[in-house]
Amino acid sequence: MPNTLLTPATGTATAPFEYEQLENSVAALRVSIANRLVYAVGKDLRSATRRDWLFALFHAVRDRMMHKWRETLAVSQDSDAKRVYYLSMEFLTGRALTNALLSVGIYDDAREACTQLGADFDALIDLETDAGLGNGGLGRLAACFLDSMATVGLPGMGYGIRYDFGMFAQKIVDGRQVEEPDYWMVNGNPWEFMRPEFSYEVQFGGRLVQEGDHVRWVDTDDVIATAYDTGVPGHELTSVSTLRLWTARATSGINLDAFNKGDYMRAVEAKNESENVSRVLYPDDSTEHGKELRLRQEYFFVSASLQDILRRYLKSHGSFEQLAEKVAIHLNDTHPALAVPELMRLLVDEYQVEWDAAWALCQRIFSYTNHTLMSEALETWPVDLMGRLLPRHLRIIYDLNARFLAEVHDRFPNENDLLRRVSLIDEHGQRRVRMAYLSVLASHKINGVSALHSDLMVKTIFADFARLWPDRFNNKTNGITPRRWLSQANRPLSALIDARIGTTWRRNLDELKQLRPLADDAEFQSAFRLAKTQNKKRLAERIAQETGIVVSTDSLFDVQIKRMHEYKRQLLNLLHVVTRYQQILAHPNANWVPRTVVFGGKAASAYYMAKLVIKLINDVARVVNHDKRVGDKLKVVFMPNYRVSLAEVIIPAADLSEQISTAGTEASGTGNMKFALNGALTIGTWDGANIEIAENVGLENIFIFGHRTEQVAALRASGYNPRRYYDHNYDLKTTIDRIAEGAFSPEEPNRFHDITRTLLESDYYLLLADYADYIATQQKVDELYRRPNEWARQAILNVAGMGMFSSDRTIREYADDIWKVKPLFQ
Ligand code: 26V
C-alpha cells in the first residue's frame, strides 16, 4: 500500500515561505539555545538535564548549517554536475559538535553564550558520545574524506549503514579486555534526519525464473532500507556534504498474513528478525569470517544505495546514456563490491538495458581502493552461501567471469594457469567468490593508499591484473583532515601557528612550510614546547582519571595507539619497555631520560594473541609502575577504550609516535600523520606512509629503523630463525626469559607462554630480527630528548613538512584522476 504521507506535497510552490536567518552573535546564540531548549527539547531552566542543554546546543549549531546544506543540494541538482558516491561499510566520525561549531565559526561565541546561560560548555562538549561506526583506519579515512569533500566543495555523498551498535566499548578488567555493547543512540541522535520517503526494498533468497533471455528473481524475503541523513560541514561552511546511512525496517505486510491470527506474536517477532541486518558493526578487521549476516549487511546497503543513485539520476535524465558522465561510484575496499552485480541487475533486469551496454557503463562508473595486502583480510564468499542469499548476483558474477576468462584466453592462449589464477571463483576446496578480483574487473581505476603499498599491490595480490591492465592501477596516498586533527584537537599549537603564519593553513596545509625558518628561533621553540606541555598536562590528568596512574609531564611521552594486531608489533614496543626496566634496575643511578609509555587499542573479540598482548601490557604496567626503584624513570599506561575522541586528547600530547609495523604490512597508516602534524617525532619502520613522511620532513628528523620490505622477504626466503637473535643478544634473551618465567605474572607464571613460544618458534612478523636496531634507535631518541631545543627544532620541522598529508590534497587527486568530478563551491 503506498504511503501517501511520503508523496511530494503539492500546491505549496508559490506560497510565501520565509524562514528566519540566524545570526551568529553571542546574544543571538543565547536566544537560539534557549529557544531550542524550550521548543525542540521541550524543557526549561527548572527541568533541563545536562543532556537537554547539550541537545539545545546541538540544535542551535545544526540550525546554522541548514542553509548551506540546502544550498549545496540545490546547486548540485540544478547544475546537473557529476557526483561521486563513496560507498563504505564504515564511517568513523567520532563527535560532531566541536567540529560543527568551528566550521560555522561560532565556537568562542557559543561558549560565551553557554556561560551566560549558566551552562558549563566544556563539560557539555565532553558529554557527546562518539559515532563509532568503524573499526579503525579505513572507517576514519572515510570520515576525513567527507570533511574534505565538503571543504573542497565536491558534489557527492557517503553511503553506509546506520548501525544501532557501533564499535564495542572496551573495559579493562583485571588487565584483560572486556567488550561492552555500544548503544550509541540511547539518548537519541540529534544530528540525523529520517527520510522515510527514501526507502527501498532489498531482496534476499528466493529463486530465479528464466523467461526467454530475461531473468526474474522471485519469492524473496524482503527488508526495507530507510535513509537517515547527516550533514557534514566543510571548513567555514564552504559546503555541507551528506552522509546517508540506511536502517533496516521490516516490510509492512511481511508474512503477517502467512500466520494465522493466533500467531500474531510470532509474526511480529519474525518482522523484528529481519531488522537485525543493521543492528551491529562487525568489530573484526583482521579476519574474514564468511558470516551470513555480514554478507546480508553488505548487500543491504549496496542495493539501497544503488537504487537511490539511479532514482536521483532518472529524476533529470530520460535514458542511461549519460549515467557514466553523471555518476562515479567508489568502493571503499571490497565490502561494497556487490554494487557491481547489483548495478548490472538493476540495469539489465529492471531497466532492460542490454548486457554489453550495462557492463560498459559499470566499467566507467566504478573505482576501488584496496586497504590491505594481508591475505586473511581479503574477502571471499562461499559460492553456496551467495547462491542461497543472492542467486541473481551469483549468476551475474558467473556470467561476467565467463566473458572475462574468454578474453584472457584470447590474449594469452598458452597460459592455462593464468585463467585459474585470475578467475573470480577460487576453485580450491570450497568454491568461493573473490571480491577483490570482482572489484578490479569492474573498476577503471584501482588504487593503493601509499606509494609503497600501491607498488606492492601490483607486484603481489594484483600482479596478473596489472599485466592485463597496467593503466588502471595508481596510488593515492592517504591524508587526514587538519581541521579535526590540528585545529580542533590542539588549540595551543593552532593558536601559536595562527600567530605566526595566519589562519589559512586550515584550508591550505602547505602553508605550514612557512614555519621552517622558525625552527631555529629560540623564542618560537620555547612557545612550541609550552604548547606541548599544556597538552601533556591535559593527558596526564586524563590518565590519572581513567587509570589512577600518576605520570610526570617532564617525562618523554612515548605513544602507540591503534588497533591491536600482531603486524603492528605492540609487542616489540613492550620488549623495549621490559628491556629498559631491566636496565633501570641494573643501573639505577644512570642518567635516565624519564619515559611514559602509553598504549591504546582494541582487539577483535576473537583475536587470542592480540588480547594476550593487552594482558601482558597491563601486567608489565602493574609491576613497573609499583616498583619503587623505578619511580618516574618509567611508567606504562594502557588507556582503555581507544576511540576518536580519546585520540584527540592523546595525539597532541605525544613526544614520540610509534609506527613500527613489519615493513610491507601497514598499507599506509594515518595515525602516523596525525602525530607528526602535532609535533611528535616518529620512530618507525620503512613502511606505508612512514616513507613519504620521512621524505617530507627530512630523514634527519625522523627515527627510522629495522629491516626494509626486500630485506624482510630475503630473510624469510632464507629460512628465518628467531632463536639465532635470542641466543646472540643478551638483553633480548633476558627480556624474553623474564616474561617466560612469569616475572610479570607471578600468580600464573605460564600465562604468556603462547607469546614467548611464538616469538622463539616462528616470529612471523620478525620482532626479534628488528629488536636490536629498535633498542639502539630508542637510545638515540633519549639522547635527542636530552637536548630540548634540538628536539623542538626537529619537531617543528615535522609540523612544517606535513603539508601534503591533508586529506584535501588526497580528495582532489581522487576527484581529478579517478572520479572526474569538479568542485561546485570554492
Ligand atoms: C577488513 C575486514 C575483513 C572482513 C571482515 C570485516 C573487515 C572490516 C574491516 C576491514 C578493514 C581492514 C583494512 C584497513 O582498515 N586497512 C587500513 O586502512 C587504512 C586507511 O587506508 C590504512 O591507513 C591502514 O594502514 C590500513 O591497515
What is the set of domains in the chain, with CATH numbers? 21-86+100-129+191-282 (3.40.50.2000), 285-476 (3.40.50.2000), 541-784 (3.40.50.2000)
Q: How many CB atoms lie within 10 A of CB 514?
A: 15
Cα 30 to averaged position of ligand 1 atoms, centre (Å): 43
- For ligand 1, atom 7, the nearest C-alpha belongs to 285
Cα 602 to averaged position of ligand 1 atoms, centre (Å): 14
CA distances from 571 to 568, 575, 583, 731 (A): 8, 6, 18, 16
Instruction: Report the C-alpha gap between 556 and 597 in whole angstroms.
Output: 8
Residue 258 is predicted with a pLDDT of 58
Residue 210 is predicted with a pLDDT of 96
- pLDDT tens for each residue of 786-804: 999 999 999 999 999 999 9
pLDDT band at 257 (very low <50, low <70, confident <90, very high): low
Cα 96 to averaged position of ligand 1 atoms, centre (Å): 23
Instruction: Report the C-alpha gap between 549 and 533 in whole angstroms.
Output: 18
Q: Is the pLDDT of residue 1 over 60?
A: no
- pLDDT tens for each residue of 602-617: 999 999 999 999 999 9
How much of the chain, in percent, has pLDDT values that exceed 70? Answer: 98
Mean pLDDT along residues 410-429: 96
Residue 255 is predicted with a pLDDT of 57
Q: Is the pLDDT of residue 267 over 80?
A: no
Mean pLDDT along residues 216-243: 97
Q: How do the residues of the chain divide into helix, strand and coil, expressed in percent and rounded to 5?
A: 55, 15, 30
Catalytic annotation, pick one of 453, 633, 674, 751: 674
Q: How many CB atoms lie within 10 A of CB 357?
A: 13
Residue 265 is predicted with a pLDDT of 76
Cα 90 to averaged position of ligand 1 atoms, centre (Å): 10
Our mutation pick for probing the ligand 1 site, out of 90, 92, 133, 138, counting the most ligand atoms within 8 A of Cβ, is 138
CA distances from 374 to 8, 451, 456 (A): 49, 17, 12
pTM of the entire predicted model: 0.97
Instruction: Report the C-alpha gap between 217 and 394 in whole angstroms.
Output: 12
Name the average pLDDT for the chain. Answer: 96
CA distances from 54 to 45, 106, 116, 308 (A): 13, 16, 15, 33
Instruction: Report the C-alpha gap between 97 and 121 in whole angstroms.
Output: 11
Q: Please give the grid coordinates belonging to residue 690.
A: 612512514
Cα 142 to averaged position of ligand 1 atoms, centre (Å): 11
Cα 333 to averaged position of ligand 1 atoms, centre (Å): 8
Minimum-distance ligand 1 atom for the alpha carbon of 378: 3
Catalytic annotation, pick one of 235, 371, 580, 707: 371
Residue 14 is predicted with a pLDDT of 78
Cα 723 to averaged position of ligand 1 atoms, centre (Å): 32
- For ligand 1, atom 23, the nearest C-alpha belongs to 669
Decide: 71 and 64 in contact? Cβ < 8 Å.
no
Decide: 453 and 667 in contact? Cβ < 8 Å.
yes
Q: What are the backbone angles phi and psi of residue 168, rounded to the nearest 5°?
A: -55, 155
- For ligand 1, atom 8, the nearest C-alpha belongs to 285
Decide: 649 and 484 in contact? Cβ < 8 Å.
no
Task: Select from 158, 155, 137, 135 the least CA-distant residue to 88.
Answer: 158
Secondary structure class of 193 (helix, strand, coil):
strand
Cα 137 to averaged position of ligand 1 atoms, centre (Å): 6
- For ligand 1, atom 9, the nearest C-alpha belongs to 285
Residue 263 is predicted with a pLDDT of 74
Task: Work out the angle between the directed axes of helices 767-785 and 730-741 (0-180°, nearest 10).
Answer: 110
Bridging pattern class, strands 425-426 and 432-434: antiparallel
Q: Is the pLDDT of residue 256 over 70?
A: no
Secondary structure class of 195 (helix, strand, coil):
strand
- State the DSSP code for 819: I
Minimum-distance ligand 1 atom for the alpha carbon of 670: 23
Q: Please give the grid coordinates belonging to residue 810.
A: 588526497
Cα 559 to averaged position of ligand 1 atoms, centre (Å): 21
Decide: 250 and 268 in contact? Cβ < 8 Å.
no
Please report where in the chains the cell 568461493 appears, as a residue.
Answer: 432
Minimum-distance ligand 1 atom for the alpha carbon of 288: 4
Q: Please give the grid coordinates belonging to residue 283.
A: 568489530
Our mutation pick for probing the ligand 1 site, out of 90, 333, 563, counting the most ligand atoms within 8 A of Cβ, is 333
Cα 265 to averaged position of ligand 1 atoms, centre (Å): 41
How much of the chain, in percent, has pLDDT values that exceed 90? Answer: 93
Catalytic annotation, pick one of 36, 296, 434, 563: 563
Decide: 381 and 430 in contact? Cβ < 8 Å.
no
Catalytic annotation, pick one of 472, 483, 568, 580: 568
Residue 494 is predicted with a pLDDT of 98
Task: Select from 362, 370, 267 the least CA-distant residue to 323.
Answer: 362
- For ligand 1, atom 11, the nearest C-alpha belongs to 285
Our mutation pick for probing the ligand 1 site, out of 90, 280, 285, 335, counting the most ligand atoms within 8 A of Cβ, is 285
371 is catalytic: yes
Residue 285 is predicted with a pLDDT of 79
670 is catalytic: yes
Instruction: Report the C-alpha gap between 541 and 507 in whole angstroms.
Output: 32
Secondary structure class of 775 (helix, strand, coil):
helix
- pLDDT tens for each residue of 758-787: 999 999 999 999 999 999 999 999 999 999
Residue 253 is predicted with a pLDDT of 60
Instruction: Report the C-alpha gap between 137 and 153 in whole angstroms.
Output: 24
Instruction: Report the C-alpha gap between 692 and 805 in whole angstroms.
Output: 9
Q: What are the backbone angles phi and psi of residue 736, rounded to the nearest 5°?
A: -65, -40
562 is catalytic: yes
DSSP output for 589-654: TS-PPPEEEEEE----TT-HHHHHHHHHHHHHHHHHHH-TTTGGGEEEEEESS--HHHHHHHGGG-
Q: Is the pLDDT of residue 437 over 60?
A: yes
Residue 534 is predicted with a pLDDT of 98
Mark residue 94 as left, alpha or beta (left: phi above 0; alpha: psi -120 to 50; beta: remaining).
Answer: left
467 is catalytic: no
Our mutation pick for probing the ligand 1 site, out of 281, 282, 371, counting the most ligand atoms within 8 A of Cβ, is 371
Residue 12 is predicted with a pLDDT of 72
Residue 273 is predicted with a pLDDT of 84
Residue 9 is predicted with a pLDDT of 84
Residue 8 is predicted with a pLDDT of 86
Secondary structure class of 295 (helix, strand, coil):
helix
Residue 826 is predicted with a pLDDT of 84
Catalytic annotation, pick one of 562, 565, 569, 707: 562
What lies within 8 Å, CB to CB, of 512 at 6+ separation is 497, 501, 505, 799, 800, 801, 802, 803
- For ligand 1, atom 2, the nearest C-alpha belongs to 285
Minimum-distance ligand 1 atom for the alpha carbon of 379: 4
Cα 182 to averaged position of ligand 1 atoms, centre (Å): 20
Q: Please give the grid coordinates belonging to residue 727.
A: 641466543
pLDDT band at 375 (very low <50, low <70, confident <90, very high): confident
Catalytic annotation, pick one of 98, 380, 579, 670: 670
- For ligand 1, atom 15, the nearest C-alpha belongs to 138
Secondary structure class of 192 (helix, strand, coil):
strand
Counts of helices then strands in the chain (DSSP H, E):
32, 24
What lies within 8 Å, CB to CB, of 706 at 6+ separation is 660, 663, 685, 686, 769, 770, 773, 774
Mean pLDDT along residues 184-191: 97
Minimum-distance ligand 1 atom for the alpha carbon of 688: 25
Please report where in the chains the cell 612557545 appears, as a residue.
Answer: 527
Cα 573 to averaged position of ligand 1 atoms, centre (Å): 22
Residues with CB under 6 A from ligand 1: 135-138, 141, 282, 284-285, 288, 333, 371-372, 377, 379, 449, 478, 666-670, 688
- State the DSSP code for 413: T
Q: Please give the order of strands across the beta sheet that includes 425-426.
A: 380-382, 432-434, 425-426
Minimum-distance ligand 1 atom for the alpha carbon of 287: 3
Minimum-distance ligand 1 atom for the alpha carbon of 667: 25
Q: Is the pLDDT of residue 409 over 80?
A: yes
Task: Select from 775, 527, 559, 758 the least CA-distant residue to 653.
Answer: 559
- For ligand 1, atom 5, the nearest C-alpha belongs to 288
